[in-house]
Structures are given as structure tokens and as C-alpha cells.
Structure 1
Amino acid sequence: MGRLAGKIAIVTGGAQGQGAAIARAFVAEGAQVVIADIAEESGEKLAAELGDAARFQRHDVSDEASWTSVVEFTAATFGDVNVLVNNAGILRFGEIHTMDLDEFDLVVRINQRGTFLGMRAVVPTMRRNKQGSIVNASSVEGLAGMGSLAAYTGTKFAIRGMTKAAALELGSRGIRVNSVHPGMIDTGMTREHGGDAAMEYGASKVPMRRVGTPEDIAPLYVYLASDESGYVTGAEIAVDGGVTATHAFGG
């Protein structure tokens, strides 16, 4: 308890899945959290569950004005934001020669543009206060490619790169920027692409022989948001059950 005392966080995609686990873990460690998501019913329910330390704000990460609103809402409700978790993202499968351009653009808009806008929205406040932590959700697909995921993989590589560029720009201002790279995690987003069969197949490919849970991921976010990670910036940290410990021949 108390590892995040004094921290005021925005968690995007915070209404469900990994985002909800992060919000719960943050509140349990003493942070005040704005759960930012388009899923209003789930977001309001989670905020009510977490009590006075959490509020829900409807938020579209791809919209610049929505970012201005959520940062202002956070400041008015709890105070200046000093932790941003860019967790919101979508997953779409499609081979390069068949994927619809509108769907490709949607993945880029939510995953990559949303992360960029989030960093840009909170940096002025963090610069003024000379401190802050930004944690960007990438993926193991931001470390290596996967067939039929060109759009998703491209955005996750971009998030990894933007994280490093931002860490270089902001380090002297007391702002740390890191990326988290989960493997296959059992969430609604992954289950919609294959259900139990996909989970079982994924587990068979993991050295630990299980897929991860949101609760496996959340403690790393707590660490990166806390002062314990005060000398960690520009890092890329995999939480994947060992998937990226190996290599593949062929494809």
C-alpha cells in the first residue's frame, strides 16, 4: 500500500481488460485515477467500485479535443496529472493485400495517433511541474513481427519508437517515458479473435504454457508509475511468459 501515494493518473482504455486491472492496482497503491474510455457503462461501474479515488471520463484517444478535456477534468477533479498510461488500443487481423484501408487507418488512429496525442496533451503540465511518468502500451508485436498483423504490428513498433524519442526529449525535464510489451493476455480484445481455442493455442506457444492475465501486467505499471523506477526511462519491458526469449526459423 502507498507506493503511488500522491500520484494522479489517467489510464486510457481503463474500463476493462488490462486497463481496468491497472486502474485497480493504482488505486490499491494510493493513486487517484481517471478512467478514460469510450465504454461508458463499464467505466462508470469500475469507478463506482473503486470509490472516491477514481472517476470515469468518456474519452476518445484519437480526438485532440477529447484529450484537452480529459486533462482538464483530471486537474479539476484531483489535481495536475503526473502519470499517464496510454493503454487504449485495438487489434485487427488482415493480410497486407486484402486489408481494407479504412480498417488499417482505424488501427493507426487509435493505437499510434492516440498514444502521440496522449503524450502531447500531458507534457505541458509535466514540464511545468518538472516531473511525470508516461507508460505506453506496446506489445511483443512491437518487438517482432507477426503475419496478418501488419497494421497492429506497425503501430506497436511505432509506439516503441515514439517512447524512446520522447524519453530523450523529456528526460532533462524530470519526465520518464517507458513502453510495456505484453504477450498474449486473456482479455475481451484477444478472445474476440478465437475464444477459448485461441487461448489454448496461444498457451501452447508460450514457454510458461499459459497465456497471461491482466493481473500479470498491472504490477509492472505500478512500478513504472512509482518513484521506485526513478532511473528508468526509454526502456522496453516484455511481460510475455518467455515468448521473446527465443527465435523462429522460417515463418
Structure 2
Amino acid sequence: MRIALTGGSTGIGAEVAKKLTAQGHHVTAFDISEPSENVARWIKTDLNDPSSIAIALTMAEGPFDALINNAGLPPREGLEKVILGVNFFGFRSFLEGFLDKLSEGASIVNVASRAGAQWRENLDEVKALLASSAEEVSGFIEKHEIEHVRAYNLSKEAVIAYTMSQTEAMVARGLRMNSVSPAAVSTGILDDFKAAFGAKAANAIARAGRPGHPQEIADVIVFLASTESAWIKGQDIVIDGGMSAMGMSDALGLNG
């Protein structure tokens, strides 16, 4: 298979590239940093720069059998505009520009986050973001009083909602698209999440016993990109070591 991967140089993306390459697949990585191994081709891509996305799309030689949208930024103070720019607007622009490069039956996998789980509760704001453009991001941030943690959460809420909303359109094109929502994962940006979510994150990790390993998330992504998952469409797959189930059990009073 020929697979396109955004964000393939570190963390989950690097593990995805490693597993795909070990299985004999051809991986083209679209990343601002060059992966050191496990990719057949690197196309430098800054998802916060529309011109960079446009150039990368012209350089991508299809058809591809899968597109894995993994690139993203963690919640870092003062980076609200960039977080929304990369995690949602850049993600959406790259994905939509890539559709004609996908083969019949191709799979799209979008990496969201457990931090996006409240998309239903925040649906009005999610819809407002979905209806916005990258050029409007500064005004959006000001109007909705978005700080860095909310920017991250909202970007992932939007990825989940967008993935679901495009299911029928993808089926009509002969494609399928799903998202995955990892919780805390032991990558180089785990400390960013601990700082952003504080005691809540620490407690969830403690109850689960440990953070996830990037290879555990990569296993699910690789499965969703494969033909073995062909009947899974429009789903958000949560990978969190039981954290969501524990939280729901608490809320429902099911823990004794």
C-alpha cells in the first residue's frame, strides 16, 4: 500500500511510520521536520501555512491507499491561533485537497484526542469553528474568548465532529474516514498535557495505571488504515486505557 502520513517524525506518527514500513508499505511523510527513518519520501509541510500546504499537495504523487492525519500541536500557552491553525484549519485544508489523490476504497484516519470528547456539549462552538475559515481565526478567538487549553480541546472536538459529518460524502466518493482519540500518551509532549490539564490528567493516568504507549495508538491507526477495517466508517475510536469508562461510571454512579 502507498500511504500518506502527516506528522511522521516524532511520537505516534513515528511509530505509525515504523509499523507501516515494517509491513512493507510505502510511506510518504508530510511534516515540517524531516523524519530520520521509516519513510520512503518526505515532503516538507507546514500545516499553519496555506502556501506550504498548496505546494505539498502539488508534490504528492498519487494514488494513495490511505491518508493518516496525525500532525498536531499540544496545548501551549499563547499559541491559540497556531493550535487552531494546525489542528483544525490546516488539517481540513490538507485533507480536502488530498481527496483526489486517494484510490478507490482508500481509508482516511484522523488523530483527534480524548480531550475532544465534549463535542456534543460544546456543539454550538464546534459548529461555529466548522463554519469558519483560517483567515477568520483571530476574530474567532477573540469572540469566543479562546485560551490555549480551550483551543486544543475545541480543535479536537471539531476533528471528531468533522469526521462524522463527512461519512456519507466519503461513502459516495468510495472512501471511508474514521478518527482515533488517544488519552495521555508517553511521547515528548506528555508534559504539555500534564501542565495544561493538571490534577485531572494526573488522576486519570493514575487510575489507568500508566499513560498509553505510542505503539499502542499506532496499532489502532494502522488497523483503521488497512482493508481489514473496511466496514468501520465515521467512527471515533477512543484509546485511553479505560479512562473514559471510569469517568462515565463515576458520573452514572455505577462504581458501587
- TM score, norm. by length of structure 1: 0.78
Residue matched to 1:217: 217
1:84 aligns with 2:67: yes
Cα separation, 2, equivalents of 1:153 and 1:17: 19
Residue matched to 1:4: none
Q: What is the CA RMSD across the aligned residues, in angstroms?
A: 2.5
Residue matched to 1:67: 53
Residue matched to 2:91: 115
Q: Trace 1:3-82 onto structure 2 (pairs within 5 A).
A: 7-40=1-34, 43=35, 45-46=36-37, 50=38, 54-75=40-61, 79-82=62-65
Cα separation, 2, equivalents of 1:34 and 1:28: 14
SS of 1:231's partner is coil
Structure 2 counterpart of 1:74, one-letter code: A
Residue matched to 1:243: 243
Is the 8 Å Cα contact of residues 61 and 115 (structure 1) preserved in structure 2?
yes
Cα separation, 1, equivalents of 2:168 and 2:188: 34
Indicate how the Cα distance of structure 1 residues 188 and 150 shifts in structure 2: closer, same or farther if over 3 A, else same. same
Indicate how the Cα distance of structure 1 residues 156 and 192 shifts in structure 2: closer, same or farther if over 3 A, else same. closer
Structure 2 counterpart of 1:235, one-letter code: Q
Is the 8 Å Cα contact of residues 203 and 210 (structure 1) preserved in structure 2?
no
Residue matched to 2:133: none
Partner deviation per Cα, 1:41-65 (whole Å, 9 max, x = no partner) = xx1x22xxx3xx6222211123333
Residue matched to 1:3: none
1:106 aligns with 2:77: no
SS of 1:88's partner is coil
Q: Shift of residue 114 of structure 1?
A: 1.8
Partner deviation per Cα, 1:73-123 (whole Å, 9 max, x = no partner) = 331xxx4222111111111255xxxxx5xx221110010012201211111
Paired residues, what number? 219
SS of 2:8's partner is coil
Q: Shift of residue 241 of structure 1?
A: 0.5
Is the 8 Å Cα contact of residues 134 and 176 (structure 1) preserved in structure 2?
yes
Is the 8 Å Cα contact of residues 86 and 134 (structure 1) preserved in structure 2?
yes
- What are structure 1's unaligned runs of at least 5 residues? 1-6, 95-99
SS of 1:82's partner is strand
Is the 8 Å Cα contact of residues 74 and 192 (structure 2) preserved in structure 1?
no
- TM score, norm. by length of structure 2: 0.77
Match of 1:141 among 110, 115, 120: 115
Cα separation, 2, equivalents of 1:150 and 1:64: 23
Is the 8 Å Cα contact of residues 203 and 209 (structure 1) preserved in structure 2?
no
Structure 2 counterpart of 1:131, one-letter code: G
Structure 2 counterpart of 1:65, one-letter code: S
Q: Percent identity?
A: 29
